[in-house]
């Protein structure tokens, strides 16, 4: 008996959100999406019961990508979902699972296996946060409903809250995917990045973009002042706010432009005369979502480093040295992504490492993102039925054909193979390059270049999907023609 037969009784009984039996009206989809978004913001503002002061955000700058909130029910964010996807994509890419996603039975097993992995990853992420290293310190005692809880019991209570939050976000994502618009993961990333972006721009806290302009407007600083810590010096040189603003605007422009660059393959309907269309192969064909997988892999490496540092008193310096929970040397330092200009501008005095060490770190981060972006883009295309073979089958099933070619799946597949594999690799590498470049220059609100890149691209795709849903709502015949629910 193979593993599928042994695991089938468990995987097929995993709780799942019921699929809609028919077409879900567009307005109802918007209601479901908005409702889940409100619930997400609500959960990020519920603090963990029993937590004490002195917590360390173990994910740090990865927060904007993992869409969580430190010290809340959304502590782990989408991290376990993404980590489970990485494991499944690697296993699927090596053909170790033996699952055919075109087979309805194997589809159920795949979805059940993914849910099981998410549950396991949520537990494995939450356990060391609460019980090891003091990352989420718990109160020594807690009285709740007349019951007295000791320190270990409070830790257990915190673990259960984080675990419940991780399971909630799993099913919230499933609700959006089946009943809403877009995907829950994308929606949560947009919400997380937008919240930080607006706060970083409009906040009157010291160090925020608007704070220094507020001081100039109110006359607290003379506009011609170039004294350290004042006015234009702060805006232009010290905090790099102007550069961060320009980088933010430039990322918006580049992503929107890159999304519009495409090769359009003409299509015509085999049975409806005059019905024509185009299949777009975009420059960023695999979208920027594979970049989440790359950053999540880096986040897990750093997570492992912090766990080792907190539990292994004699950890060799060659493996990693830490100051204030941040790597400052060793292997884990070189594998840490560049978050902001302060991480690599060694001539400013804010970087304690030598120039050669910083250059090695930049090179590793760039290599990791470019090559990792291309590899995960290939995995993403193959596992989401966006490859040449799956695309050719979809075009054939919709009744469309490529003018001048025989109406045959094999012929359409060969045409698609001219474009999709090459564009997938180029697009994945380009997104990785953009993410590192944006991180190096810095962005408003400290959302990181990767977070901003993801938010802009996902928002653009969400806009396209909303426009498509509206068109389908206005013209039901198109829904029937293209096999949409």
The predicted model gives 21-46 an average pLDDT of: 91
Pick the CATH number of 240-485 from 1.10.10.10, 1.10.3370.10, 2.40.50.140, 3.40.50.300: 1.10.3370.10
Residue 118 CB partners (closer than 8 Å, separation 6+): 80, 81, 84, 166, 170
Domain ranges within the chain, ordered by starting residue: 1-8+26-180, 240-485
Contact between 212 and 245 under an 8 Å Cβ cutoff? The reply is no
Of the ranges 11-20, 226-235, 307-316, 434-443, which one carries the lowest mean pLDDT score?
226-235
Highest mean pLDDT among 72-76, 196-200, 207-211, 408-412: 72-76
Partners of 322 in the β-ladder: 327
Partners of 424 in the β-ladder: none
For residue 173, the model assigns a pLDDT of 93
For residue 366, the model assigns a pLDDT of 93
For residue 226, the model assigns a pLDDT of 47
DSSP 247: H
Whether 1-8+26-180 and 240-485 share one fold: the answer is yes
Q: Residue 386 above 90 pLDDT?
A: no
The predicted model gives 213-240 an average pLDDT of: 58
* Helix axes of 355-383 and 289-311: crossing angle, nearest 10 degrees: 130
User: How high is the mean pLDDT of the chain?
Assistant: 82
Both tokens of 223, joined, read 């506009």
Highest mean pLDDT among 84-98, 168-182, 188-202, 245-259: 168-182
Task: State the Cα–Cα distance between residues 5 and 1, nearest whole angstrom.
Answer: 6
Residue carrying the six token digits 């993961």: 185
276-282 and 262-269 as β-strands: parallel, antiparallel, unpaired? antiparallel
Give start and end residues of each alpha helix (H) in 408-448: 409-417, 420-441
Contact between 74 and 459 under an 8 Å Cβ cutoff? The reply is no
Q: Residue 31 above 90 pLDDT?
A: yes
pLDDT band at 140 (very low <50, low <70, confident <90, very high): confident
Residue 84 CB partners (closer than 8 Å, separation 6+): 114, 117, 118, 120, 121
Residue 164 CB partners (closer than 8 Å, separation 6+): 73
- For the CA atoms of 444, 445, 449, 451, what is the dihedral angle to 10 degrees? -140
For residue 163, the model assigns a pLDDT of 95
Q: What share of the chain is helix, strand, coil (3-state, %, to 5)?
A: 60, 5, 30
Looking at domain 1-8+26-180, which CATH architecture does it have?
Orthogonal Bundle (1.10)
Q: Residue 481 above 90 pLDDT?
A: no
Span 78-123, pLDDT tens digits: 889 888 887 887 777 667 777 776 777 888 888 889 899 999 999 9
Straight-line distance from the first to the last Cα atom of the chain, in angstroms, rounded to the nearest whole number: 37
Span 458-478, pLDDT tens digits: 888 888 888 877 777 766 655
The predicted model gives 168-187 an average pLDDT of: 91
**HSE (side-chain half, CA atoms, 13 Å) at 371:** 6
Highest mean pLDDT among 53-62, 72-81, 129-138: 72-81
For residue 240, the model assigns a pLDDT of 53
For residue 36, the model assigns a pLDDT of 95
The predicted model gives 147-171 an average pLDDT of: 92
Q: Cα-flanking dihedrals φ and ψ of residue 368, to 5°?
A: -60, -45
């Amino acid at each position: 008996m193979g593993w599928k037969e042994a695991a089938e009784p468990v995987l097929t009984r995993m709780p799942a959100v019921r699929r809609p039996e028919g077409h879900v009206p567009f307005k109802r989809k918007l209601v479901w999406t908005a409702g889940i978004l409100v619930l997400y913001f609500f959960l990020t503002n519920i603090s963990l019961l029993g937590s004490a002061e002195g917590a360390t955000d173990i994910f740090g700058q990865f927060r904007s990508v993992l869409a969580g909130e430190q010290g809340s029910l959304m502590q782990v964010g989408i991290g376990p979902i993404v980590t489970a996807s990485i494991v499944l994509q690697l296993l699927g890419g090596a053909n170790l699972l033996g699952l055919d996603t075109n087979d309805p039975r194997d589809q159920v097993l795949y979805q059940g296996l993914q849910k099981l992995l998410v549950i396991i990853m949520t537990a494995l992420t939450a356990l060391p946060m609460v019980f090891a290293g003091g990352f989420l310190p718990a109160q020594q005692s807690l009285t709740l409903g007349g019951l007295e809880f000791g320190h270990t019991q409070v830790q257990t209570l915190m673990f259960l809250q984080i675990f419940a939050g991780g399971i909630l976000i799993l099913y919230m994502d499933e609700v959006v995917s089946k009943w809403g618009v877009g995907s829950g993961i994308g929606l949560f990333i947009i919400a997380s990045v937008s919240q930080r972006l607006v706060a970083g721009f409009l906040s009157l806290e010291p160090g925020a973009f608007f704070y220094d302009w507020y001081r100039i407007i109110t006359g607290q600083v003379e506009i011609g002042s170039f004294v350290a810590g004042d006015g234009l010096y702060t805006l232009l040189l010290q905090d790099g706010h102007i550069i961060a603003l320009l980088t933010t605007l430039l990322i918006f422009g580049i992503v929107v432009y890159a999304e519009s660059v495409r090769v359009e393959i003409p299509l015509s309907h085999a049975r409806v005369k005059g019905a024509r269309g185009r299949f777009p192969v975009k420059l960023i064909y695999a979208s920027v979502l594979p970049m989440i997988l790359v950053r999540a892999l880096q986040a897990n490496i750093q997570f492992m480093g912090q766990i080792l540092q907190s539990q292994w008193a004699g950890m060799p310096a060659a493996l990693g040295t830490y100051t204030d929970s941040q790597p400052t040397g060793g292997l884990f330092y070189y594998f840490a992504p560049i978050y902001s200009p302060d991480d690599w501008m060694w001539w400013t005095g804010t970087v304690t490492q030598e120039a050669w060490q910083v250059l090695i770190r930049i090179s590793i981060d760039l290599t990791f993102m470019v090559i990792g972006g291309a590899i995960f883009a290939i995995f993403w295309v193959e596992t989401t039925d966006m490859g040449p073979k799956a695309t050719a089958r979809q075009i054939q099933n919709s009744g469309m054909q490529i003018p001048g070619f025989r109406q045959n799946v094999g012929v359409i597949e060969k045409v698609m193979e001219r474009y999709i594999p090459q564009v997938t690799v180029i697009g994945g590498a380009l997104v990785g390059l953009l993410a590192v470049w944006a991180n190096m220059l810095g962005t408003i609100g400290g959302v990181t270049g990767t977070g901003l890149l993801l938010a802009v691209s996902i928002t653009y795709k969400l806009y396209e999907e909303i426009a498509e849903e509206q068109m389908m709502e206005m013209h039901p015949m198109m829904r029937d023609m293209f096999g949409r629910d």
